[in-house]
Amino acid sequence: AYNFNAGPSALPLSVLQKAQEELVDFKGSGMSVMELSHRSALYEDVHNQAIALLKELYGMPEEYEVLFLQGGASLQFAMVPLNFLAEGQSAGYVMTGSWSEKAYEEANKLGQVYQAASTKEESYRRIPAPSELQIQPGSAYLHVTSNNTIFGTQWSDFPETGDVPLVADMSSDILSKPVDVKKFAMIYAGAQKNLGPSGVTVVIVRPDFLERATQNVPTMLRYDIHVKNNSLYNTPPTFSIYMLGLVLQWAKEQGGITAIARRNQEKAGLIYDAIDQSGGFYKGHAEKDSRSLMNITFRLQSEELEKKFLAEAKSAGFVGLNGHRSVGGCRASAYNAVPVEACQALRDFMLEFQKNNG
Ligand code: PLP
């Protein structure tokens, strides 16, 4: 199958094969990695290697902490304000799509928030320009969604926020392109798009930001508790973390993030070209300079034609091309594990479909 699912999404075939190979006997233990105690040396190796690999791939400054949590990115929508939005302070949210809205709404239940910018009135077709951002001095943090999975837009350059800590939801583009981690006080991402299977959420946090966190929060929701315990305060999602480690190893073998980014450019370029050269037969949702390399969203001239396109694509072996249920249309999610050939095949299919229906 050509898997263009938006999430959970494709995993590298070699990773699945490696997991299959090791499934019932992990490194001669006679047990599956799922059966190992999370306190065993064998498991701790898996855990610590995954942390080290993520740091290495991003060239992260040593002091940054990497956490493996549960509850998905959705729990981070609450955990961030619970820990960092103190009384008397407010936090800014840049509204670039449905996930930003969810993050904002969750924080709004817990403290004072404001919208530093929003492109909602333009159907979230673009990322706001830096000059549009109104960041209130003294804000607890500024929250951005680096890639908007549903609308298909992506930040290319992150805003300068001065003294205001920058927090990013990178669920749908983590590990897809080089990012200067130093710019961020915190990054979080559900694993199920570029990092592995669902069940684990990666949090990258700078210790000086952590020092601002309130401790008046239930234990499991405190970042400092997870840092102190190396994400082993309670039983972590061991199998998901093992799979994440395999994906990171795969990413390293691909030549690291820069090589992956180059490939992602090429992949998305194939599909955007088909859109741009269609003379309006396919219409991209995002403005060109806000286009996502991960989620390519487009429409056809009528819903009827879209239905036909999606049905024929399905028969031709393309999976997951339906747009999100809230917006309709079509969406091709070309995450890291989607091979160039799948994007080439989709482009060919799009050209052919246009020839027969244009
Ligand atoms: N943020 C973004 C940008 C997403 O794309 C998603 C899921 O698609 C989420 C948050 C929610 O993630 P989770 O399902 O891990 O809670």
130 assigned to some structural domain: yes
Last residue of a domain, one of 253, 273, 296: 253
Tokens of 238: 């061991």
281 and 199 in a common domain? no
254 lines ligand 1 (CB under 6 A): no
List pLDDT tens digits, range 120-170.
999 999 999 999 999 999 999 999 999 999 999 999 999 999 999 999 999
List pLDDT tens digits, range 173-186.
999 999 999 999 99
104 and 71 in a common domain? yes
96 lines ligand 1 (CB under 6 A): no
Question: How far is Cα 70 from Cα 260, in angstroms, rounded to an integer?
Answer: 26
Question: How far is Cα 337 from Cα 121, in angstroms, rounded to an integer?
Answer: 33
Annotated binding site for pyridoxal 5'-phosphate: 73-74, 99, 149, 169, 192, 234-235
Please state the rounded mean pLDDT for residues 43-49.
98
Distance from the Cα of residue 86 to its chain's centroid: 27
Q: What is each CA distance from 26 to 20, 127, 204, 280, in whole angstroms? A: 10, 45, 28, 53
Question: How far is Cα 211 from Cα 83, in angstroms, rounded to an integer?
Answer: 10
70 lines ligand 1 (CB under 6 A): no
Q: Number of folded domains in the chain?
A: 2
- Please measure the distance between the N-terminal and C-terminal CA atoms of the chain and give it in whole angstroms: 26
List pLDDT tens digits, range 54-80.
999 999 999 999 999 999 999 999 999
List pLDDT tens digits, range 186-231.
999 999 999 999 999 999 999 999 999 999 999 999 999 999 999 9
9 assigned to some structural domain: no
Question: How far is Cα 355 from Cα 275, in angstroms, rounded to an integer?
Answer: 13
172 and 87 in a common domain? yes
Annotated binding site: 39, 73-74, 99, 149, 169, 192, 234-235
Residue 82 confidence (pLDDT): 98
CATH of the domain at 29: 3.40.640.10
55 and 134 in a common domain? yes
User: Is the separation of the CB atoms in 140 and 85 below 8 Å?
Assistant: yes
Residue 351 confidence (pLDDT): 98
94 and 242 in a common domain? yes
215 and 77 in a common domain? yes
Residue 303's CB is within 10 A of a number of other CB atoms, namely 11
Q: Which of 55, 155, 169, 250 is catalytic?
A: 169
Please state the rounded mean pLDDT for residues 23-44.
98
Domain of residue 268 covers 256-357
Q: Report the interhelical angle of 238-253 vs 256-276 (nearest 10°).
A: 80
220 and 321 in a common domain? no
314 and 192 in a common domain? no
Q: Which of 55, 177, 193, 267 is catalytic?
A: 193
> Which ligand 1 atom is at minimum distance from the Cα of 150?
5
268 and 214 in a common domain? no
29 and 109 in a common domain? yes
Beta bridge partners of 144: 168
249 and 263 in a common domain? no
7 assigned to some structural domain: no
pTM beyond 0.90: the answer is yes
* pLDDT beyond 90 at 346: yes
75 and 175 in a common domain? yes
Please state the rounded mean pLDDT for residues 301-314.
97
Residue 1 confidence (pLDDT): 86
Residue 103 confidence (pLDDT): 98
